[in-house]
Amino acid sequence: MSSLTLTPGAITLPQVRAVLRDDSRIELAAGWQHAVLRSLAAVEARLAAGAVLYGINTGFGKLAKTLIPPGELAQLQLYIVRSHAAGVGTPLPDAVVRLVMVLKAASLARGLSGIRPVVVERLLALVNAGIHPVVPSKGSVGASGDLAPLAHLSLALIGEGSVRVGGRVLPAAEALAAAGIEPIVLGPKEGLALLNGTQVSTALALEGLLQAEDLLLASILTGALTVEAALGSRVPFDERIHLARGHAAQTDIAAAFRRVLADSEIAHSHEHCDRVQDPYSLRCQPQVAGACLQQIRDAGRVLATEANGVSDNPLVFGDEGEVLSGGNFHAEPVAFAADNLALAIAEIGALAERRIAMLIDSSLSQLPPFLVERGGLNSGFMIAQVTAAALASENKSLAHPASVDSLPTSANQEDHVSMATFAARRLGPMAENTRGVLAIELLASAQGIDFRRPLRSSATLERLHALLRERVGFYDHDRLFAPDIEAAIEVIASEALLALAPDGLAAGRE
């Protein structure tokens, strides 16, 4: 098994992609224990001096004024994990849970949480043993951290709750015993440090970010193939137009289209046609996709920062011997980033749906109606476009910002929350919808290219066309359509397709 060494506080987006997409052994860069031990010593010294420390020798939330006797401090940490494991819903995917554990371990390893090194070591042991706690997807409002889901995750560390190993659900105690991992007995602050933090919402948002990057790359390819199928103009991609406006992301997208469309026989065939302007869904691709890219880049910077941050409470500054209560658990930055990613994912799909509608309209595309011969007997792509419209419309509802909502919790002690976990969690279904729209566009544009034969497109787009035709044949008459869409979805999600996209547009792939 290959290994991936992460430096707490300096994890990159490509490393995040590696944690999510493969099963490499995870290690932390040497030396992290020193800061952890300093913060642990600070907690022990403050307790020995009789200090009142939130969540360490007091109750939680509204019960923070309740002092806990020294003999019950370990019990306090055990009880918070058990009581806060109150989530519901479909469990999170194993890959996301794996990332949550890695982010939590890296955050604790920054040495600001007042825990023992063994907590970090046990988290990584679970990761490397392929033991994934069963974490219900619903129950967090994104402040005070992702309490319920992180409690379910933490149960596994103490040998309680359920886990998945190789796809099988097992009692945690059984899985840990089989892997030779000892459950831990939580010390002061450790239960709270595990539960308090934004790692679940951040992991879900990072997964959404990486999917958004991939969808944008795929949309450049399918959008370019549609330009070819519809005999679209190259003028809208001229660099001078985009430099005049000045948005770097828009300029980058236009350059990507120029690279993908270069050296095409189809383009040369209509250089002197009488069409003045194309529909916006073709002509404004750099402007719309550029705006999406800007949102993706901005969200990437925010989420990379959050992934490397320390978001539990209170924080322990070992060098100064201070324990400070704050609010880093409030996931508003994650919620905003996720909401902006939702806009990008929705718009990528919305514009692709409009391109599909343009292709099936013979008055605009100069292709056979509904992209099929003998229309009337054959309905062709008529209902495939309806499916694309349904998916794009559903995303419009899902794109409503989650961060504008807030419901007070904990008897109004926690009176403003971020809703970041839902904001991030809904990115997965949105990405699935947009992937379906792009798959239908790939089918439609490839069909259009076949009607332009014997003319050839650019080298990149001919490879894209061939990639689809390996799985789905030309639509010469009506047949069961759903299998074609499913196959095209797999092509859209494939590394073979994404390898055709220009470089420099996806920070998570650099």
Could you give the residue numbers annotated as active site?
54
- Using the Cα atoms of residue 411, residue 414, residue 416 and residue 421 in order, give the sign of their dihedral: negative
Residue of 319, 312, 315, 307 whose CA lies nearest to 6: 307
User: Do the Cβ atoms of 437 and 349 come closer than 8 Å?
Assistant: yes
Distance of CA 166 to the CA centre of its chain: 23
Residue whose entry in the numeric block shows the structure tokens 């790939």: 442
> H/E element holding 501?
none
Q: What are the DSSP calls for 208-225, one per residue?
A: HHHHHHHHHHHHHHHHHH
Q: Is 114 exposed, middle or buried (0-12, 13-18, 19+ CB in 10 A)?
A: buried
For helices 73-84 and 147-157, what crossing angle results, to 10°? Answer: 120
Cα angle 54-314-124, degrees, rounded to a multiple of 5: 120
279: Cβ contacts below 8 Å, ≥ 6 apart: 354, 358, 364
Residue with tokens 């901005």: 298
Element (H, E) at 415: none
How far is CA 121 from each of CA 3, 83, 118, 197, 394, rounded to the nearest angstrom? 16, 24, 5, 18, 43
Position of tokens 């658990």? 329
Q: How far is 149 from 156, CA to CA, in rounded Å?
A: 12
E strands present in 17-105? 25-28, 88-91
Virtual torsion, Cα 338, 289, 429, 482, nearest 10 deg: 180
275: exposed, middle or buried (C-beta count within 10 Å: 0-12, 13-18, 19+)?
exposed
